[in-house]
Amino acid sequence: MKNDELEALLRSSLGSMPAPKRMEQTAVLCAQIVGQRPRTEPQLGFWGFLSEIFRFEGGLILACQAAALLLVGLHVYGAADHLQTLPAYIPLFALAVMPALFRGRYRGVSELEAATRASAAQLTLAKLVLAGGADLVCMTLLLALQARMAGSCRQMGRMILYCLVPYLACMSVTLAVIRRRGRDGMAMSAALALGSCLFWYGSAKLCPRLYEIPAVGVWLAAFMLFAAFFVREIYFIIRANREGRIYGTYA
C-alpha cells in the first residue's frame, strides 16, 4: 500500500471509534511499511568518510592553501632575510584552514551536522587530516624553494623548526577556540593568527639572535611544548567522538 492510501485509510477512521478488525489491519500495514525501510545505515570506513569530506571541503581547503603558499613563496623569493622572517608567514597556513573548520558554525548548520551520522568531532578530525596533508605539501615545496635559493640543505633542520613551531602554535589555539566558543570563534582565531604573524616578525627584528645556531635548543623546546598542546587537542576530539559527546560549544 502506498503512503497516500495509508493516509486515506487513517483519515477515514478519524471521528469515530474504528472496528477492532480495521485497527488490526492498519497495524499490519504500518508494520509492513516500516519493515521495508533499512533498519541501519550502511557504515562508512575512514577513507570513505574522508572522500566525502574532500568532495565538499577539498576545493576550499586546497584553494586557501595554494593562496597561502603563493604569498609565502613570493616572500621567500624576494626577501633578503627570508630565513629569519619565515616564522612570521607560516601562521598564514593555519589561517587558510579556518574557513573550512568554521564554515559550519559560521553558517549556523552545526545542529544539522550533529543530527547526521557523522558527529562534529568526526567532521573536524577529517578536515584536519585534509588540511594537514595540504599543509605538508605546501611546506615541503616552500622548504625546497628555500634550499634551492640557499644552494645547500645545511640549514634544513632549522627551517623545519621555523615552520613547525608557529604552525603548531596557531593550530593548537584554533582547536581550543573551536572547542570552547561558537560562531565568533573564527574571528578570534583569525585575529590570533595575524597577531602571531606580527609577533614572529617582531622577534626577528628585535631579537635576531633567536635565529642563530646556538638558539636551536630554544626552538626544539618550543616545538615539544606546542606539539604537546596540539596532541592534547586532537585527543579531546578523538575522546569526544568515541564517547558520543558533543564536541564544541555549538557542535
| Grid coordinates of 106 | 559560521
Contacts of 15 (CB under 8 A, 6+ apart): none
**Domain for residue 150, yes or no?**
yes
**Domain for residue 251, yes or no?**
no
Q: Are residues 56 and 153 in the same domain?
A: yes
Residue 44 has a pLDDT of 60
Contacts of 31 (CB under 8 A, 6+ apart): none
Domain count, the chain: 2
Q: Are residues 70 and 155 in the same domain?
A: yes
The closest of 159, 133, 154 to 72, measured between CA atoms, is: 159
Residue 251 has a pLDDT of 41
Q: Are residues 64 and 175 in the same domain?
A: yes
Distance CA 55, CA 98 (A): 18
Residue 220 has a pLDDT of 92
Q: Are residues 30 and 52 in the same domain?
A: no
| Grid coordinates of 53 | 569530506
Q: Are residues 103 and 164 in the same domain?
A: yes
Segment-wise mean pLDDT, segments of 10 residues, the chain, 251 residues:
63 60 75 64 66 82 88 74 78 87 69 58 82 87 79 79 90 86 76 90 86 86 92 87 65 41
The closest of 200, 190, 198 to 222, measured between CA atoms, is: 200
Tell me the C-alpha to C-alpha distance, in Å, between residue 48 and each of 43, 115, 141. Answer: 9, 19, 28
Contacts of 237 (CB under 8 A, 6+ apart): 121, 124, 125, 128, 175, 247
pTM: 0.70
Could you list the residue range(s) of the whole structural domain that residue 149 is in? Answer: 46-243
The closest of 13, 38, 165 to 89, measured between CA atoms, is: 165
Contacts of 131 (CB under 8 A, 6+ apart): 61, 65, 96, 97, 100, 101
Q: Are residues 28 and 146 in the same domain?
A: no
